Structure 1
Amino acid sequence: MKFVYFTHSLTSCWNHGNAHFLRGVLRELQSGGHEVAVYEPKGAWSLANLLADHGEQGLQPFHEAYPELASTMFDETSGFERTLADADVVIVHEWNEPWVVAAIGDLRRRSGRFLLFFHDTHHRAVSDPQAIRRLDLSRYDAVLAFGATLVDAYRREGWGNRAFVWHEAADIRLFRPPAEEGHRRGLVWIGNWGDGERTAELETFLLRPAKAAGVGLDVYGVRYPVPALAMLAGYAARYRGWLPNPRVPSVFAQ
């Protein structure tokens, strides 16, 4: 079968957690004998930020870990007819512009040759349902949502048994224990700044306990503003910046 996936970015995991799961799923499909094709928009926010911070070298960890994966860029001048002419399954991630969601749905209406799924890994179906209602999903066969609460929200909107839970998970080809356990030290936390939505939790359940226990703490992630960096420094936590996802297992192993 041929699977076509429209993502925000395959190549960049800069503040883009879905990339981790997507890469593993696509590689598993390939290993099962399926053909995969990936499309991402030109100028994607995640990729633009990665290149701005780290240049082309920032892409090296992805290419080293996933040499079999590649993506094709598209924009509003791109036509999807040839792209989807021989597709069996098409999945459109919610982090795409509404025109992309609508255009692919229209192709599904006109051709009817492929199964079309909407992949939702965000909370806005619950927190901002109007944002989802503004998307034209009328030609989509089903919704793949990353949790039961989201599925319930879609079912309330009339999707019934066409809404399914698809939990995100770790790529076990990449995330596995080291062959030999080495020296381990301190504590590590990997996560991006959440626009203040979890500041209190980080301070209560991570920073204070680590300092009280005298455990060295390394923090990885992006979008930490000056006040957040000051808070980390106040708890003697070391801020390490962006960590490419393929290098997470080696950091955890330490």
Structure 2
Amino acid sequence: MKFAFFGSSLVSAYWNGAATYYRGIIRAMHERGHQIAFYEPDAYDRQKNRDIEDPDWARIYVYQPTEEEVFKALDDALHADIIIKTSGVGVFDELLEKEVLKLKLKGKHVIFWDVDAPATLDRVNYSEGDYFKALIPQYDLILTYGGGNPVVSAYKELGARACYPIYNALDPSTHHPVPKEARFEADLAFLGNRLPDREKRVEEFFLNVAAQMPGCHFILGGNGWHDKPMSSNINYIGHVFTKDHNALNCSPKAVLNISRDSMVKYGFSPATRVFEAAGAGACIITDYWVGIDTFFEPEKEILVANNGDEVAQILSSLTEEKAKVIGQAALKKVLAKHTYTHRAIELDGILQQEFSTTKEAI
């Protein structure tokens, strides 16, 4: 099958947390014989901050952020059998979400792939007159980055003909154990961009914990935190390129996952970095969200905290030996059940089920 993806960026993770997800699933689809073209705008300095070259497993089409260039990209995408508009492209999202639907008239299957379903659903349900609400029933299929039954039910209530979560996963070829690096050694590290619906949770689960544990060393990575007040035992390292993620996950005693408010609300939304860290054999401490045990067994494969005080308690009693055991258990689980190869097989099954007329070609 030939696929056309319209997304934020495949070649740059700069202010683009979905990059790892896109890369993992698209590479796995390519390995299963599919042909993929990825359409991304030259926006937000992402092309200036590429962290991979054009891959051999996808054709990259970079377009300028103008209406004329958007329509040229849509014309180019007509070579595909299935055209996918992802959420959060960042420029001309409304235009793209309306125009891709017109390609159904030319015999194409059109999918909306929501990489931030909790935020999309909150916007549609609580913003009066949101344009996307009327478009949902027109898509052949809705796929989501996560959310489980709450998200599936919410989309179906809005008229989606079918909705399936395709969860984050691990690409073992890019995220795996590596030797520790002194620059990333710490008791606890957190990597995440500064976003409005996560900032308060970062304050509670990370910044406040660091302030009450002056004898421990913390690392904070991600964009936007440069002017945030923080204690002197936090080393703020800014944007961390993908090539350094393995070392950042392997070097600290533990790494912290902090979910955004909307993802906690809907549950079943493991962040990409959870699987990255597990693939590196890291000991993960995560804030609580419904559905954690769908992916990892708490206390054996992942450590769970309900608040900042519990993060501090876990960290104060966590030995290097225990951290290593938990990290190895997480690595074993993710390799066995949560790679992008697993997700691509699942996706093929969904497409066969939903698009029976193209079953022979899938």
TM-score (norm 2): 0.58
Q: Which runs of 4+ in 1 moved over 4 A?
A: 66-70, 180-184
Asked if the contact 2:137/2:160 (under 8 Å) is kept, the reply is no
Q: Which residue is equivalent to 2:221?
A: 220
Correspondence 1:1-254 to 2 at 5 A: 1-42=1-42, 44-45=43-44, 48=45, 50=46, 56=48, 58-59=49-50, 61-63=51-53, 66=55, 68-74=57-63, 75-77=66-68, 78-79=71-72, 82-96=75-89, 97-108=93-104, 110-112=105-107, 114-122=108-116, 123-129=118-124, 130=127, 131=130, 133=132, 136-145=135-144, 146-148=146-148, 149-160=150-161, 162-178=162-178, 185-186=185-186, 187-195=188-196, 197-211=197-211, 212=213, 214-224=215-225, 226=227, 228=228, 231-232=229-230, 234-254=231-251
Q: 1:99 to 1:202 in 2, by over 3 A?
A: closer
Supply the distance in 1 between the matched residues of 2:180 and 2:237 (Cα, whole angstroms). 23
Alignment CA distance shift 1:19-1:124 (3 Å)? same
Shift of 1:14: 1.7
Gaps of 5+ in 1: none
Aligned mates of 2:219, 2:168 — CA distance in 1: 25
Deviation at 1:225, TM superposition (A): 5.2
Provide Cα deviations, 1:204-249, integer angstroms capped at 9, x if missing partner: 32234345162211111002252x1xx22x2420110101123211
- C-alpha distance after superposition, 1:40-94 (max 9, x if no partner): 124x23xx2x46xxxx4x32x3229x56445212342133564233312221101
Unaligned runs of 5+ in 2: 252-362
Asked if 1 retains the 8 angstrom alpha-carbon contact of 2:4 and 2:80, the reply is yes
Deviation at 1:142, TM superposition (A): 0.8
Deviation sequence 1:134-188 (CA, Å, 0-9, x none): 563453101002212322211111225x11112122323211123x667783122
RMSD: 2.6
Equivalent-residue separation in structure 1 for 2:20 and 2:248 (angstroms)? 16
Greater share of helix: 2
CA distance in 2, matches of 1:136, 1:103: 11
Change (3 A) 1:15 1:80: closer
Label 1:98 to 1:170 Cα distance change in 2 as closer, same or farther (>3 A): same
> How many correspondences in the alignment?
234
CA contact (8 A) 1:116 1:142 kept: yes
3-state DSSP class of the match of 1:222? coil
Q: Secondary structure at the match of 2:138?
A: coil
Q: Tell which has more relative contact order, 1 or 2 (C-alpha 8 A, sep 6+).
A: 1
Q: Is the 8 A contact 1:8 1:41 kept in 2?
A: yes
Q: Distance in 1 between matches of 2:56 and 2:80?
A: 23
Q: Distance in 1 between matches of 2:195 and 2:74?
A: 38
The CA deviation string for residues 17-40 of structure 1, in whole angstroms up to 9 with x for no partner, is: 111100111111222222110101
The TM-score normalised by the length of structure 1 is: 0.80
Q: How many angstroms apart in 1 are the aligned matches of 2:86 and 2:248?
A: 29
Identity over aligned residues, as a percent?
Answer: 21
Cα contact 1:125–1:132 (8 A) shared by 2: no
Aligned residue type for 1:124:
A
